[in-house]
């Protein structure tokens, strides 16, 4: 009988008491883990509220009317217009920082419009595409959220050199190497120098070919050469970034900038070949090629570079600076 009661007691201990103790210990550990996790990992909302810097920007949307917007809300529209949402997240972050720098410099200096505002024309200031318009054109909410996360990840951050906001220029594709600012605008900036930009071969305008009938070519340049078009093409000099500095055509000397404008070329990095029928021009890259190449930034990001490293490459010597709400 005593043995039976011992067996019953043992069974109760093993079947009820021990599991209860293990369960209580497990709950205690779980609660401790939850407490530690809450202390170490704040919610996404808390992260955003702690790090977002509210800056104003004046945006021209309808002619001469300018309205004030929150900088980060404005930048979502800029990045939607200026860079494919499918680009690497670190490239989107780099674009956000550069675009913020451009808009903030306009706010402080007056910008191209003189009143500190920026317009939505890429040929003048920066592109801008409202979220509603982007979605109406077939864009997705996921793409908007992705770009918004890139903007917020860099909130308040701009590029400076010697404590001053830089000339934050950027473009689509360099064709393999960017250009010195002095070669394009005649003004030298230490942080806007020619640098290699590998990995752009997949860009839609890495190279382009344009063909000009001999007569149309001559008329576009305002020259009246005679004979075989091959005899029209003279010597050329080149910039540090591999663009045309000067080129003699039909006995007249042109700058690469002039030829790009007169012929409607994608960039100043080009070569020319002549035949009996006319001139074939092959360009590399798309844009002025000064500052950050967007396709180059995407290639760097795909290779593992952070947005800070991308900016350090294209704006050498510049620093990422965090502004405050009052700056």
Any idea where the domains of the chain sit in the sequence? 51-171+289-322, 207-284
pLDDT digit string (tens) for 212-238? Answer: 999 999 999 999 998 899 999 999 999
Instruction: Measure CA of the first residue to CA of the last residue in the chain; give whole Å.
Output: 88
- The 10s digit of each residue's pLDDT in 191-202 is 999 999 999 999
Q: What is the pTM of this model?
A: 0.82
- Strand pairing category for 292-293 and 170-171: parallel
Cβ distance 94 to 307 under 8 Å?
Answer: yes
In the prediction, which pLDDT does 35 show? 33
Query: What's the sign of the alpha-carbon dihedral 194, 323, 104, 71?
Result: positive
Question: At 324, is the pLDDT very low, low, confident or very high (cuts 50, 70, 90)?
Answer: confident
Report the distance separating Cα 106 and Cα 141, nearest Å. Answer: 30
Decide if 108 contacts 114 (C-beta within 8 A): no
The pLDDT of residue 6 is above 90? no
CB contact at 8 A, 264 and 208? no
CA nearest neighbour of 112 among 99, 101, 97, 123: 123
Cβ distance 247 to 236 under 8 Å? yes
- Cα gap 284→267, rounded to integer Å: 7
Closest CA relative to residue 218, chosen from 278, 177, 265, 168: 278
Rounded distance, CA 206 to CA 299, Å?
A: 13
């Amino acid at each position: 009988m005593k043995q039976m009661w011992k067996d019953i007691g043992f069974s109760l201990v093993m079947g009820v008491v021990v599991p209860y103790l293990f369960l209580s210990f497990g709950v205690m550990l779980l609660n401790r883990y939850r407490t530690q996790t809450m202390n170490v990992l704040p919610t996404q909302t808390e992260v955003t509220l702690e790090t977002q810097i509210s800056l104003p920007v004046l945006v021209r949307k309808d002619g001469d009317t300018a309205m004030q917007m929150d900088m980060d809300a404005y930048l979502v529209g800029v990045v939607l217009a200026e860079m494919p949402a499918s680009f690497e997240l670190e490239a989107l972050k780099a674009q956000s920082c550069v675009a913020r720098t451009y808009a903030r410099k306009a706010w402080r200096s007056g910008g191209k419009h003189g009143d500190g505002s920026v317009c939505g024309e890429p040929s003048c200031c920066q592109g801008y595409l409202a979220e509603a318009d982007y979605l109406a054109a077939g864009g997705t909410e996921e793409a908007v959220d992705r770009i918004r996360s890139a903007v917020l990840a860099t909130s308040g951050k701009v590029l400076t050199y010697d404590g001053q906001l830089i000339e934050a220029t950027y473009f689509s594709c360099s064709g393999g190497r960017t250009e010195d600012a002095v070669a394009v605008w005649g003004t030298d900036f230490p942080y806007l120098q020619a640098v290699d930009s590998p990995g752009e071969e997949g860009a839609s305008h890495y190279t382009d070919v344009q063909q000009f009938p001999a007569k149309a070519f001559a008329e576009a340049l305002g020259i009246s050469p005679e004979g075989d078009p091959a005899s029209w093409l003279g010597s050329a000099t080149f910039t540090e970034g591999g663009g045309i500095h000067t080129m003699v055509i039909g006995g007249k000397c042109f700058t690469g900038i002039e030829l790009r404008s007169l012929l409607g070329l994608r960039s100043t990095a080009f070569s020319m070949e002549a035949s009996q029928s006319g001139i074939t021009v092959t360009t590399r890259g798309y844009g002025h090629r000064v500052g950050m190449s967007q396709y180059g930034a995407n290639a760097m990001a795909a290779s593992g570079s952070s947005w800070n490293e991308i900016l350090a490459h294209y704006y050498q010597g510049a620093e990422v600076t965090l502004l405050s709400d009052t700056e």
